[in-house]
Each structure stands twice: as structure tokens, then as C-alpha cells.
Amino acid sequence: MFNAQERAELNYELRTIPIDLTNRISDLDNHIAIELLRAIHHDPDSVGRELHDNPISRLTSQVRDIINEQERLVNQLVEIEHRQTISNNAQQELVETVKAIRNQAYQPTLDLIEAGEFYRANALLTSELNQLRSQMSSVVTNYLNIIKESRQREIANSHQALRTHLAVYAILTLLGVGAIGLIAFWVIRSITTGLAKAEQISRNFADGDLSHNIHIDSKDEIATIINQMDRARQALRTTIEKINAASQQVASAAEETSQVSKQTDEGLKRQVKETEQVATAMNEMSATVQDVARNASDASSAATEADESAKRGQHVLSKAVDAIGILSENITHSSQTIDSLKNESEEIGKVLDVIGAIAEQTNLLALNAAIEAARAGEHGRGFAVVAEEVRALASRTQGSTEEIHAMIDRLQSRSNDAVKAMEQAASQVKNSTDAISDTESALSEIVMGVSNISDLNFQIASAAEEQSSVAEEINRNIQTISEISEESARGSADTKTASAELARLAEQLQSQVNRFRL
């Protein structure tokens, strides 16, 4: 399928150019015929010879130039290859006709004119030209009609292609409009949802309800605004909570201020009487401040020593934890060793049971041997002595076995007791380790506390020095206090009134804050 530009180029090459070349070839053919007739009129025997002042050579040269130009245009026309056979055939017929006119009429006539045979040239041109020019006109008309019909078909095809393209563009436009509609629907829906949530937040704000959280996971501008509004709600809620707490504190402070104002009023009455006592007390305070400074310095030194002692205690506890860990491992190893000893003692008991059985059997055999030796009389006396010795050895072996068995039982019992003791010791070691760890943590806190105490002592010492300087200034200002006391009494009355007003404002603020649900 050709696009519009390709169709235009093809229409120009296969239709516009051939039509232009054909018209120019036809015009040149007429021009050749006219120029040849003008040349024939240069016949010396012609009546109108004197009317032509141009030399015959000029006319013949012009005719040859025109013939060459026509031939050049014909060659250009030949180079054009149409897509349809009928067009190519009509083109070929036109080319052959032009060549036939040139070869059969124009060229022979031109040769006769140049030879001076004007009469024969006129006769040849007259006899050949009419038939050939009639054929030429028919061929040109046929060729142009074929090209025009082809152009009309191409125009119709272009119109059809244009209609097809318009239909495709219309479908694509409808699809684009549909896609835009879907996108617009999604965007409007997203905006509507966000605006609904914004309206909900605004309604909650208007109702004083700050307890509902609203969060949107989307990343569009509406979601950003909603999330910012929710953060503003949280900030407002925090602010209202602080205002609520502050209003309660203000109300409480106003009440306390009112009470203080009453007490201040009474105190101011006593202040004048106590001014002299204050002066004496300030002197004593100055001395006390100096003592405090010295004590603070001593306390700072003691705190430093306590800090070092606590750090040494931490180090000792760390070593104790390591030693207890080693002890725990040793206890575990000893417990395992005692378990092994218990198992081996049980094996020894089994062996002793076998030895006891053997000793008992030996005793029976020795007894039987003694009986047989007694029957043998004198001959069995020596055998009887040996049997008695064997019996005695078997009895002692059996007794020793029983004693060893008893000792092994006691050993096993003590092993069990030792295992239990080891387990208890391991448990106690673990408890001790935990206690030491707690103690180490406590010591760490003590170290930090002592360090803080040291800093505080330094601050106390500095403050004490400042207080010593301030005490002297206070001594000078005691005289002024008496004068200010009267003004303070008036200010106390004003403070009492302001406290009542502050309490009323705090109550109003509390009422406004209670409108919000947090």
C-alpha cells in the first residue's frame, strides 16, 4: 500500500510527465510542419517568394533543431515504463508514429528542400503528412485518454484509500477517546475518593473529632494532600492534648495563685516586722553559704573517691564473675567425675558379689574336703589342715568382701549426696553470678550517680560562691524591701483579681477543648 507522498510521486512520473511530454511532442510536430511549409514557400518560382526575407538555411536549421528536440522528448518518453500493458502499448504506438512521420515525411521533405526541389518536397509533404498527422492525432488522443483514465482510476483509488484512512483514523480516534475516557474515569474516581476522604477529614475537623486515622497508599497529589491533612490532624490532636493539659494546669495554677495571693497578702503584713530578722538571717546565711562551699568541696572530693572505689568494685566484681564462671565449670566437671565414680563403684560391687559367691563356694568345698580328710584318718590329716586353712581364707575373704561392699554402699550414698551438693552448688553459683551481675549493674549506676553528684557538688560550690556575693547585695536591698512591701500588697490584690480572671479563662479554654474528641 502506497502512502500519499508515494502516490503523488507515482502519479507525477507515470501520468503528469507523459502528458506533458506528449503535448510538447505534438506541439513540436505542428511546429515542424509549419516550418517546413514556410521553407517550401522559399521556392524561387513561388508567387510569395518576396514575402519571406529569412534565408532558407535558417529555416532548415530550425527544423533540424526542432526535430532533434522532438527526438530528445521521445527518448524521455520511452524511458517511462507504465504499470499497465495498454499504456505501454499506446506509448510505443505513439513513438513509432512520431518516428514514421519524421522518417517518411519530415526528413525526406527537409532533404528535398535543401536540394532545391521545392515542388517535390511540397508534393511529398502534402501526400504523406495528412495521413500520418491524422494517425498521429489519433495515437496522441488515445495515449492521453489512456493516461487520463489511469489518472482517474488512481484518483478514485486515492479517494478510496483516503476514505479507508479516514475510517481507520476515526476508529483510532474513537479508541483514543475511549482510552482517554477510561483514564479520565480512573483519575476522576481517584480524585473523588481522595476528595471524599478529604471531606470526611474536614467534617471530622468541623465536628471536633480528631480520633480517626486516615491514610492513603496512593502517590498522587490528592493522596499527598490527604496524608498531609492527616498529619495536620495528628499535630492538631497533639496540640489540643497539650492545650488540654495546659488548661488544667492553668486552672490549678490559678487556684493555687489565688490561695498564694491570700497568703502573700498576709505575709506582706508580716514582712515589715520580719525585715530586721531577715538582715540578721542574711548575715548568718552568708556564713552558712561559706560553710556550704567548703562542704561542697569536701563532698566533691569524697564523691571522687567514691567514684574510684565504685570503679574498683566493678573491676573486682568482674574478676569475681570470671572466677565464679571457672568455679561453675569445675563444679560441673567434679559432678561428672563423681557420677563416673558412682558408676565404677557399682561395677566394683558387682565384682565383689562374684568374689563373695566364689568365697562361699570355696568355703563349702573346704568343708567337704575336711569331712573327707576326717574319714581318711591319719592319711588325710595333712589334707585336713590345708582344707581348714582354705576354709579360713574363704571366710576371711567373704568377710572382707562384705566390708568392702558396705564401704562401696557408703561411697555410693556419699557420691549421691556429693552430686546433689554439686548441683546445689552449681545453682548457687548461677544465682551468685546473677546477683553479681545485678551488683555490677548497680555499681555502674552508682558510678554514674557519683559522677553526677560530683558535678552537682561543683555546681553547688559555684552557686554557694555566687550566693555569698548575692547575700551582700540582698543585705543592701533589705531596706528597699520594706518600701516595696506596700507596693507588693497592692500588686497582691491585683494578682488575686488576675488569678480569678485566669481561672475563668482557663475554664472557658477547657470548655472549648472538650469539644474535641481525641
Q: What is the pLDDT of residue 250?
A: 63
Report in angstroms the alpha-carbon separations of 340 from 347, 358, 406. 11, 27, 19
Q: How does pLDDT run across 203-262, given as a tens digit for each residue?
A: 776 676 767 676 666 666 666 777 777 777 777 778 777 777 776 776 676 677 667 667
| Partners of residue 209 on adjacent β-strands | 517
Residue 50 pLDDT > 60: no
> How many Å is the Cα radius of gyration of the chain?
69
Reported as a pLDDT band with limits 50, 70 and 90, residue 372 is confident
Q: What is the pLDDT of residue 1?
A: 45
Q: How far apart are CA 285 and CA 467, in angstroms?
A: 9
Reported as a pLDDT band with limits 50, 70 and 90, residue 176 is confident
Residue 3 pLDDT > 60: no
Nearest CA-CA partner of 106 in 138, 136, 76, 140? 136
Q: How far apart are CA 304 and CA 310, in angstroms?
A: 10
Q: What is the pLDDT of residue 346?
A: 74
User: Would you say 113 and 39 are in contact if contact means Cβ atoms under 8 Å apart?
Assistant: yes
Q: How far apart are CA 450 and CA 464, in angstroms?
A: 20
What is the three-class DSSP state of 209?
strand
Mean pLDDT of all residues in 340-362: 76
Q: What is the pLDDT of residue 254?
A: 63
Domain 4-164 shares a fold with domain 225-513: no
**Residue of higher predicted confidence among 194 and 291:** 291
Q: How does pLDDT run across 139-153, given as a tens digit for each residue?
A: 888 888 887 777 677
Q: What is the pLDDT of residue 493?
A: 72
User: Would you say 46 and 1 are in contact if contact means Cβ atoms under 8 Å apart?
Assistant: no
Q: What is the pLDDT of residue 111?
A: 86
Reported as a pLDDT band with limits 50, 70 and 90, residue 7 is low
What is the domain partition of the chain in residue ranges? Answer: 4-164, 225-513
Q: How far apart are CA 265 and CA 386, in angstroms?
A: 126
Residue 387 pLDDT > 80: no
Residue 2 pLDDT > 50: no
CATH topology of domain 4-164: Four Helix Bundle (Hemerythrin (Met), subunit A) (1.20.120)
Report in angstroms the alpha-carbon separations of 202 from 219, 260, 508. 21, 44, 24
Cβ contacts of 462 within 8 Å, gap of 6 or more:
none
Q: What is the pLDDT of residue 131?
A: 74
User: Would you say 140 and 95 are in contact if contact means Cβ atoms under 8 Å apart?
Assistant: no
Q: What is the pLDDT of residue 282?
A: 64
Q: Provide the terminal-to-terminal Cα distance of the chain, rounded to the nearest Å.
A: 73
Reported as a pLDDT band with limits 50, 70 and 90, residue 289 is low
User: Would you say 226 and 258 are in contact if contact means Cβ atoms under 8 Å apart?
Assistant: no
Mean pLDDT of all residues in 40-59: 65
Q: What is the pLDDT of residue 401?
A: 80
Nearest CA-CA partner of 111 in 47, 206, 40? 40
User: Would you say 151 and 15 are in contact if contact means Cβ atoms under 8 Å apart?
Assistant: yes
Nearest CA-CA partner of 214 in 500, 59, 25, 202? 202
Which of 36-40, 105-109, 164-168, 453-457 is the least confident region?
Answer: 453-457
pTM above 0.85, yes or no: no
C-alpha cell at 187: 483519575
What percent of the chain has a predicted confidence (pLDDT) above 70? Answer: 72
Angle at which helix 85-101 crosses helix 17-40, to 10 degrees, equals 10
Is the domain covering 225-513 a CATH 1.10.287.950 domain? Answer: yes
Residue 182 amino acid letter:
L
On the CB side of 476, CA atoms within 13 Å amount to 4
What b/e sequence results for 143-180 when a residue is b if at least 16 CB atoms lie within 10 Å of its CB, and e otherwise? bbebbeebbeebeeebeebeeeeeeeeeeeeeeeeeee
